[in-house]
Structure 1
Amino acid sequence: MTNLLIAITLCVAVSIAYAVAALIQARFAHLTVAQLVRVPVLWLAIGLNALGAALHVASLNFGPLSLIQPLGALTLVIAVPLAALTAKRRPTRLEMTGMTYTVVGLTGLALIITTTGKADTLTSGELIWLVVATVVVVAGLALLGRRPGASTLWEAIAGGIAFSVCSALCQTIVVTVGDGGAGVLLRPITIFAAIAVGTFAIVATILTQRSYRDGLSAPLAVTNLVNPASATIIGVVLLGETLATTGVEIALAVICGFLCCLGVAQLARARDAAPTAAPAPPLEDAPAGV
C-alpha cells in the first residue's frame, strides 16, 4: 500500500510539473526560438519538464505501468482549469466537457491497450531506421503546421511522436548500459542514440511550444494522446512486445479513441470561442526577468 501511495503521489507531482510547464510555454508560444532562449522563465518550464520526466521514471519503481500510464491524463485535468485561472475566468462548458471526454478516452486507452512480453532493445539497424523515419515524419508534420492558417495540432502530433521516440531510445541506452557496462557509452551507435535523444527532445519541446500559440488545451490533449500511442506502436513493431487485447477490448478502445477525438474537437472549439490570456509582451518591451 505504501508503494502504491508513493506512485500516485509521484504521478500527481509529474502532472503538476508538466501542466505548469505547459502554461509557461503557452504564454511565450508566439516568440521565435532566438527570442525564447533569452526568456529566463522559459528555462523554468524546461526544468519542470525535466523534473516531470525524472519523477515519471521514479514512479515506475513504485507502481505498475498499468496504473501510472492512465494517471498521465491528470496533466490535462490540471492544465485546463489552471489556464482559465491565469486568464482570470472560469472554465467554459466546452472546455470542461472536452476535457472530460479526452481524459476518459485517454484513461480507457491506457487501461485497454496493453502490451506483454519482455521488451527488447533496438538493434543498430532498427535504431538508425527509427531515427531516420522519425526525422522524415516529424519534419513533414512540422511543415504542415507552418502553413498559413494551418492547425497547430500538426505540431502537437509531431511533438508527441518526437517525445515517444526519445523514450524508446532512452530505454535502449539504459538497458544496453545495464547489460554491457559503462563502456557501451563509447560505442558509435550509443553516441548516435544519445545525440538523437538530445535532438529529438529539443525539437519536441519547440514543436509543442509552437503548438500552444492559439491555445493550450487542444494541443496538450493531442500530445498526451499521440505520445503513448506512438510508444505502443514502437514497442510492438520494433521492441518485441505484443498487444494483449481481445476483440471486445479493441472495440472498447475504438470507442475510447472516438471519445478522445470528440474531446479534442470540443477543446479546439473552446479555444476559438473562449477569450484567451494575452500573450507575453514582445521581448524588447518585457520587464527584466520575465
Structure 2
Amino acid sequence: MTSSPVLLAVALSLVSALCYATAAVVQERTAAGTANLRGALARGSWWGAVLLNAGGALLHVVALRYGPLSLVQPLGVLTLVVAVPLGSLAARRRTSGTQWRGMALTLVGLTALLTVTASGGSPDSTLSTTGVLAVALAAASVIAVLVRLASGRSGRGGLAFAAASGIASGVGSTLAQKLAVGAGMSWSAALVAVLTVGFAAGGLLLAQKAYGSGLGGPLALLTLVNPFAASAIGVTLLGEGFQYGATGTLLALAGATAAARGVVLLSRPQAQPQAQTSSQIQPQPQFRSESQPDGPARLDVGVSHLRPTRILAGTSRAA
C-alpha cells in the first residue's frame, strides 16, 4: 500500500469519527429526553443522528476501500476522543485532567497501531460467501445473547447493548469492505448488501438503547468492541497482519493496551453512576437541572467528577 492510500484512509477515518461522535452526542441528548425508543423515533434530532451516522458510515466504507480492517477500524476509537472535547465545548465546561490523559493515551496507542499496520497492498482479499454467512450467523448469535442479558438489567444493560452494538457495527464494516473492494453484481453481492444494512441498522438501534443509560461507558465499550471484532475477522480470516514481525506484533499489542487504557480513563466515572448520593449532589445544585430533579440530572455532581456522559447529558437538558 503506498503512502497516498494510507493517508487517504486515515483522513477519511478522521472525518468519519467526527460524524460518529457528533451523532453520539445527538443520540444521547435524544435518549435523555425520551422514555423509550418509540419516543426517540418521533423526534427530528434522532433522524439528524441517523444522517450523521450515515455520513460517517459512507466515509468509513470508502476508507475501507483504501486500507485494511486492522488499520481503519481501530481509528474508530477517535470517536470517543472527539466526543469528549466536543461535549465540553457544547456545555462550556473545562475538560478534566483525567480526560486529557485518556485522550493522550488513546492517541499514542492509535499512533503505534498505525505504525505497524500502514503497509502492504490494498485490501484485495475479502470474505467468501460461505465466510460471510458463517460470520453473520456467529455474530447474530452473540448479539442475541447480549440483548437477552441486557433485558431487565438497568445498571449493566447499557453495557450489554453497547457490546452488541459494537459487534454489529464491526461485522457490518467487514461486510461493507467486501462490497467496497469490488463485489460484482450477483446474488451473493445482494446478500452481502442486505446483511451489511441489517448489521449497520442493528448497531444503530442497539447504540440508541445503550445510550439510554448514559454516553461515557456505553460509547467507550462500543468503540473498543467494534475494532476488536473487525480486526479479529481481518487477522483470522483475511490474513491481515503487522509489520516488523514479532516486534511489530508487540508494538501493536502495546498500542492496543494504551488505547484501551485511554478509553477507560475517559469513561471511568461512568462505571459507578449510582454511587453518588444525595449528600454529594446537594452541595453543588448549580449542576442540576431544575426541570428534571429526579432524572438524568443526578449524574451532574461537580467539576472534580466531570465525565463525557455528564457533559453531554448537560447539553441535552439545555436543548
TM-score, structure 2 length as denominator? 0.71
Q: How does 1:260-279 map to 2 (within 5 A)?
A: 260-271=259-270, 272=273, 273-274=305-306, 275-276=310-311, 277-278=313-314
Computed over aligned residues only, the root mean square deviation of the Cα atoms, in angstroms, reads: 3.4
Residues of 2 paired with 1:270 and 1:26: CA distance?
Answer: 17
Q: How does 1:132-171 map to 2 (within 5 A)?
A: 132-146=137-151, 147-150=153-156, 152-171=158-177
Note if contact 1:114-1:245 (Cα within 8 Å) is conserved in structure 2.
Answer: no
**Residue in 1 that maps onto 2:209:** 210
Residues of 2 paired with 1:6 and 1:236: CA distance?
Answer: 22
- Offset at 1:244? 4.4
Residues of 2 paired with 1:248 and 1:6: CA distance?
Answer: 26
Residues of 2 paired with 1:55 and 1:36: CA distance?
Answer: 25
Out of 97, 102, 105, the residue aligned to residue 101 of structure 2 is 97
User: Partner amino acid for 1:177?
Assistant: A
Residues of 2 paired with 1:156 and 1:264: CA distance?
Answer: 14
- Offset at 1:245? 5.4
Question: Compared with structure 1, are the counterparts of its residues 119 and 221 closer, same or farther at alpha carbon in structure 2 (3 Å cutoff)?
Answer: farther
Question: Compared with structure 1, are the counterparts of its residues 68 and 264 closer, same or farther at alpha carbon in structure 2 (3 Å cutoff)?
Answer: closer
**Residue in 2 that maps onto 1:37:** 41
User: Partner amino acid for 2:224?
Assistant: L
User: Partner amino acid for 1:196?
Assistant: L
Deviates more, 1:264-273 or 1:133-142: 264-273
- Offset at 1:168? 1.9
Residues of 2 paired with 1:103 and 1:144: CA distance?
Answer: 33
Residues of 2 paired with 1:90 and 1:250: CA distance?
Answer: 37
Deviates more, 1:84-93 or 1:160-169: 84-93
Question: Compared with structure 1, are the counterparts of its residues 67 and 190 closer, same or farther at alpha carbon in structure 2 (3 Å cutoff)?
Answer: closer
Structure 1 unaligned residues grouped into runs of 5+: 282-289
Residues of 2 paired with 1:119 and 1:8: CA distance?
Answer: 18
User: Partner amino acid for 1:45?
Assistant: A
**Residue in 1 that maps onto 2:246:** 247
**Residue in 1 that maps onto 2:128:** 123
Residues of 1 paired with 2:178 and 2:51: CA distance?
Answer: 24
Out of 105, 110, 117, the residue aligned to residue 106 of structure 1 is 110
Question: Compared with structure 1, are the counterparts of its residues 212 and 128 closer, same or farther at alpha carbon in structure 2 (3 Å cutoff)?
Answer: same
Question: Compared with structure 1, are the counterparts of its residues 151 and 109 closer, same or farther at alpha carbon in structure 2 (3 Å cutoff)?
Answer: farther
**Residue in 2 that maps onto 1:286:** none
User: Partner amino acid for 1:144?
Assistant: L
Question: Compared with structure 1, are the counterparts of its residues 137 and 89 closer, same or farther at alpha carbon in structure 2 (3 Å cutoff)?
Answer: same
Identical-pair percentage: 36
Question: Compared with structure 1, are the counterparts of its residues 214 and 109 closer, same or farther at alpha carbon in structure 2 (3 Å cutoff)?
Answer: farther
Residues of 2 paired with 1:151 and 1:98: CA distance?
Answer: 25
Note if contact 1:24-1:42 (Cα within 8 Å) is conserved in structure 2.
Answer: yes
Question: Compared with structure 1, are the counterparts of its residues 236 and 253 closer, same or farther at alpha carbon in structure 2 (3 Å cutoff)?
Answer: closer
TM-score, structure 1 length as denominator? 0.78
